[in-house]
Amino acid sequence: MVGYTHVSVMPEAVLNFWPTDPNGCYLDATVGGGGHSRLLLEQYPNARVIGLDQDPAALAEAKNALAIYGHRAHLYSRNFRDLGDVLVQEGIESVDGILFDLGVSSPQFDVPERGFSYHFDAPLDMRMDPENPLTAFRLINMKSRQEISAALREFGEERWASRIAKFIVEARTTEPIRTTEQLVEVIKAAIPASARRSGGHPARRTFQALRIWVNDELGALREGLEAGFSALKPDGHLVVISFHSLEDRIVKHQFRQWQQNGLGRVLTSHPVVPEDSETEVNSRARSAKLRAFQR
């Protein structure tokens, strides 16, 4: 198995907002390499953490990182939209705090064969859960021009969505688009040269859209937030770290709705962002935003 090394984002901010009871039970809905859970378990020797992750490589790393805590850390290979089922399996009615650390981790981006990155030539995959039957290859080669255009516009906020979809459908009539490199070339051909000179890599938004589409990230987030709120004890905290505007918008609106309905209060009037000292050593933390809610 390829090594999995992940740097947890905003660890101090998470500790400030996440725990509400040093003897409590907490849910790390995206345990990743176990970094945030390890911080909590170290800070509170009597705390207990239940960790979920749909990526087997991440889960294996978390098991290694958290093994020293024994029965205080229980890990499950599940999507966080299923967190309610996991708590039933654990025989737990509610928890003191929940953390969602969204998006794709550095190890997922940096392993070429996962197909997440436009910087490597690899099969078009992009699945966080390898058991997921839906891949980026299937979407690119089997969905209609209209469906592809709509996804690029909705999930990638890509201004050239219609043109990129047109070029994709035309290209695949000759041969299937199998690799990330093939797709990047199609995207470059679709976007006018003048537009490619600014705004970062021309494939960035398309790759984001495909990843979200493959993994149903926004649907899972909406369901996960609802399940998480239902699992919180009174005074419990729900903390979410997001990495792009689509995620952050869903979290912000959901927190506001709960507050307006008298179900709790938003703890972050504005999103908390990383300190400059953190982004200097971890450039991928730059887009992170943390929001917290108390039931």
Using a pLDDT cut of 90, give the percent of the chain over it. Answer: 75
Share the mean pLDDT of the chain. 91
Residue 259: pLDDT over 70? yes
Residues β-bridged to residue 179: 123
Question: How many distinct helices (H) and strands (E) make up the chain?
Answer: 14, 7
3-state class (DSSP) for residue 76? strand
Write phi, then psi, for 153 (nearest 5 degrees).
-75, -45
Residue 2: pLDDT over 60? no
Topology at the third CATH level for domain 11-107+217-294: Rossmann fold (3.40.50)
8 Å CB contact between 258 and 238 = no
Supply 262's token pair: 């008298």
In this structure, how many other beta carbons lie within 10 angstroms of the beta carbon of residue 252? 19
Task: Please report, for the chain, the start and end positions of each structural domain, with discontinuous segments joined by +.
Answer: 11-107+217-294, 118-215
Q: From residue 254, how far is each of 185, 205, 227, 259, 263 by CA, in Å? A: 38, 25, 12, 9, 11
Supply 253's token pair: 């609106």
Beta carbons within 8 Å of 104's beta carbon, 6+ residues apart: 116, 128, 211
pLDDT in tens, 68-91: 999 999 999 999 999 999 999 999
Topology at the third CATH level for domain 118-215: DNA polymerase; domain 1 (1.10.150)
pTM of the model: 0.90
